[in-house]
Amino acid sequence: MAYLFTSESVSEGHPDKIADQISDALIDNFLAWDPDSRVAIETLVTTGQVVLAGEVKSRIYLDVQKITRSVIQKIGYTKSEYMFEANSCGVLSAIHEQSADINQGVDRTAKEDQGAGDQGIMFGYANNETENYMPLALDLSHRLLFELSELRRENNEINYLRPDAKSQVTLEYSDDHKPLRIDTIVISTQHDDFAEEASMLAKITEDIKAILIPRVKAQLKPELQALFNDDIKYHINPTGKFVIGGPHGDTGLTGRKIIVDTYGGKGAHGGGAFSGKDPSKVDRSAAYATRHIAKNLVAAGVADEILVQISYAIGVKDPMGIYVNTYGTSKVSLSDAEIATKIGEIFDMTPYGIETRLGLRNPIYAETAAYGHMGRTPQTITKEFENSTGEKKTLTVDLFTWEKLDFVDKIKASFGI
């Protein structure tokens, strides 16, 4: 019997995502000037106010207020009527030094002996529904909001958009887990107040259907374009009005959108947030590493769908264990347990091994903090940083290294594919 599955996304202007972006911008600035920094920063945003809290061990001092305001400015909170504006909001810092008890469990004389920065379980997932090996419902949810943000910045075809937005896509699947059609699309987008309120919802609905949807559809392969049909149920701003939004409408906190950040409810999630944490925190680095493994395994043809779990104890470098579930889609003559054993042979899963393999001590995290950490396109960019004394530094970094298909050949050789 066919079934429905739903995923959601939120825009860069959503309060929780503002918090994530601020936390990750601070991570990047610490790592740019001191790659050995240990950082865990949480951010809270509300009406006219930002609160920063957390622990840092670093050789650099930063102007955290300036960095925070630059993030808010870039997102688009630049008008006083938003009740949260980059230049006028208060920024309170309660950041203090990292606990020596935690630090002694991580730092070692030999870097390769570095212990895990915390205990926990982390999951990586991949399937072959999309070209980026991500679940389709989440991929579409992200695309809708990314294009909506592009339209807002263009301020051309649609000129009333504000930064806060959410999306949701429901797909119908066949018995053999193949997407058949899009059942429902939900878009809630913040907007300016309309002079004629009666026409407001009709105008927004028309623009979403006539402008946004075709732009997203044009990005997809023909077989995915075919999932769009005249029977899709649309819920556009279903409350009828969305003028009050952003941190004035809802308080935002770092780490409250972990399902949006990962796989949209497919696979599994260990529970730990990513943003605001340096890579010694395996909540982040091991989640990236397991995604890298799962994606390369699917791309190599080991299975159509794979979940990889890993677990750690704080201060211990070697993982407690690796678990694999191929959901009955394996194409090799090995059990899931045997596949897990091979993963341990191919990939160094110590914290130092992960950091080194994926280049995680570089300032690469601000770009992860909106529209998902997984399924993104690897790219090399140049970034500029400024410290509290005005000194500037330019760095060239590789983004989304965990999305590279750089282990496919090695996996094929190991599995005899």
Phi, psi of 407 (to 5 degrees): -115, 10
* 223 annotated binding-site participant: no
Q: How far apart are CA 356 and CA 362, in angstroms?
A: 10
* 203 annotated binding-site participant: no
* 281 annotated binding-site participant: yes
Residue 107 is given by DSSP the state: -
Q: How far apart are CA 184 and CA 231, in angstroms?
A: 9
For 195, counting Cβ atoms within 10 Å of its Cβ (0-12 exposed, 13-18 middle, 19+ buried), the class is: exposed
* 225 annotated binding-site participant: no
* 116 annotated binding-site participant: no
- Angle formed at CA 82 by CA 76 and CA 86, multiple of 5 degrees: 50
* 412 annotated binding-site participant: no
* 164 annotated binding-site participant: yes
3-class DSSP assignment, residue 146: helix
Q: How far apart are CA 375 and CA 231, in angstroms?
A: 28
* 230 annotated binding-site participant: no
* 16 annotated binding-site participant: yes
Q: How far apart are CA 395 and CA 157, in angstroms?
A: 36
* 139 annotated binding-site participant: no
Are 122 and 272 within 8 A, CB to CB?
yes
* 406 annotated binding-site participant: no
Are 366 and 21 within 8 A, CB to CB?
yes
Query: Among residues 411, 409, 129, 415, which one has the least CA distance to residue 267?
Result: 129
Are 148 and 276 within 8 A, CB to CB?
no
* 250 annotated binding-site participant: yes
* 42 annotated binding-site participant: yes
Strands (E), 192-290: 233-236, 252-253
Q: What would you measure as the largest C-alpha separation in the chain, in angstroms?
A: 68
129: left (phi over 0), alpha (psi -120 to 50) or beta: alpha
Q: Two tokens at 78?
A: 């630049």
Query: Among residues 201, 212, 200, which one has the least CA distance to residue 151?
Result: 212
* 12 annotated binding-site participant: no
CA distances from 350 to 112, 164, 400 (A): 8, 39, 19
Q: How far apart are CA 100 and CA 73, in angstroms?
A: 35
Q: How far apart are CA 178 and CA 172, in angstroms?
A: 8
Annotated binding site for Mg(2+): 16
Annotated binding site: 14, 16, 42, 55, 98, 164-166, 241-242, 250, 256-257, 273, 277, 281
Annotated binding site for L-methionine: 55, 98, 250, 281
Annotated binding site for ATP: 14, 164-166, 241-242, 250, 256-257, 273, 277
Annotated binding site for K(+): 42
